[in-house]
Structure formats: C-alpha cells, structure tokens
Amino acid sequence: MKCQICDNPATVHLTEIVNKKKRALHLCERCARERNLIADPPGPQLDLKALLNLLMNPFPHAGPSGGPADNVVTQAATDACEVCGLTLAEFKAEGRLGCPHDYDTLRPTLEPLLERIHRATAHSGKEPRAVRVREWRRQMQAAAAAEDYEEAARLRDLIRRSSSGQ
C-alpha cells in the first residue's frame, strides 16, 4: 500500500471512527511525522554500564586520600571468584554478579557501592521463607536438645503454619 500523500510505501495505518463512520489513513513515516501523528524517535538512552561504573568509582582520578590515584591494585581487582571465575573487570563491564560467592570475593569494592546505593550494607527487608524455616528448624533442634519442649513445639507450629502458606 502507498502513502496517500507522497506515494512512498505506507508504514503508518490509522483508522478513525467518528459518528459511526470509519476513515482510514495510510501514510509513510515521514508524512505521519510532519502531521504530528506519531511521536518523534526516542532521545538518548540511559547508559546503565556507565552509570554503574560511575557509582563504583565516582572519582576515577582520586586515590584513597583524595589526591592522585595510587598505583596500588586492590586485592579484589586481581582476584577471581573460585566458583564462577568472575573478576572485578567483568563485574564492571556487565553490572551483574555471577554467583553468591562473588559478594565475598569482591567485598572491598561492593561495600562502598552498596552503601552509596542503599545507604546500608546490611539487609533490612524481607527474607525468603526458606531462610526463616531453616533458622526455626535449627532453633527447634536446639530447644529439644535443651529439653525446652514448649519452645520446640512453638517453633514446630511456626514451621507448619509457614509450610501450609498461612
């Protein structure tokens, strides 16, 4: 189908229904933009990798004392995770960790980053149900070993309620 204005291939097809009358308009993208029938293309996109790099290293030319950067390479920059092999350079490039062990390997770099992003380094939100249940089971076994059967029964009931979804 061709544009109804300039005979280029029509890529924008508009249908308008007014007072039970249907009117179709077939235009090329240029003609549709000239008549403000479609939005302009999006502006520059957010560069997440650059933003993450800025958060991780806000003063790239400053060392720990605020002066020129020292030629000291941190341990995290040279180490790789023993489990997945992720290095600091790979984390900076991708912005994602490979496994839970990366938090320990990259701790010197991640702690300041997490502090800037979340204003804390300790988790303060919800925890998965499995973590709570595992802790309750450990406490229940300790209570039973100490012959505190009332506490063990209370914890058993918590575990049952959690497992049934109540």
Task: Tell me what pLDDT residue 77 has.
Answer: 47
Asked if 80 and 120 sit in the same domain, the reply is: yes
Nearest C-alpha neighbor of 127 from the set 135, 138, 137, 116: 135
Asked if 117 and 83 sit in the same domain, the reply is: yes
Q: Which domain holds residue 96?
A: 47-54+74-124
Task: Tell me what pLDDT residue 71 has.
Answer: 40
Mean pLDDT, the chain, as a whole number?
79
The SS3 of residue 23 is: strand
Does 62 fall in a domain? no
pLDDT in tens, 39-84: 776 666 777 777 777 777 765 544 454 444 444 344 444 578 888 8
Task: Indicate the pTM of the whole model.
Answer: 0.33
Q: Given the DSSP bridges, would you call strands 12-18 and 21-27 parallel, antiparallel or unpaired?
A: antiparallel
Does 65 fall in a domain? no
User: pLDDT at residue 3 above 70?
Assistant: yes
Residue 43 makes CB contacts below 8 A (sequence gap 6+) with none
Asked if 113 and 140 sit in the same domain, the reply is: no
Tally of domains within the chain: 3
The SS3 of residue 108 is: helix
Task: Tell me what pLDDT residue 43 has.
Answer: 67
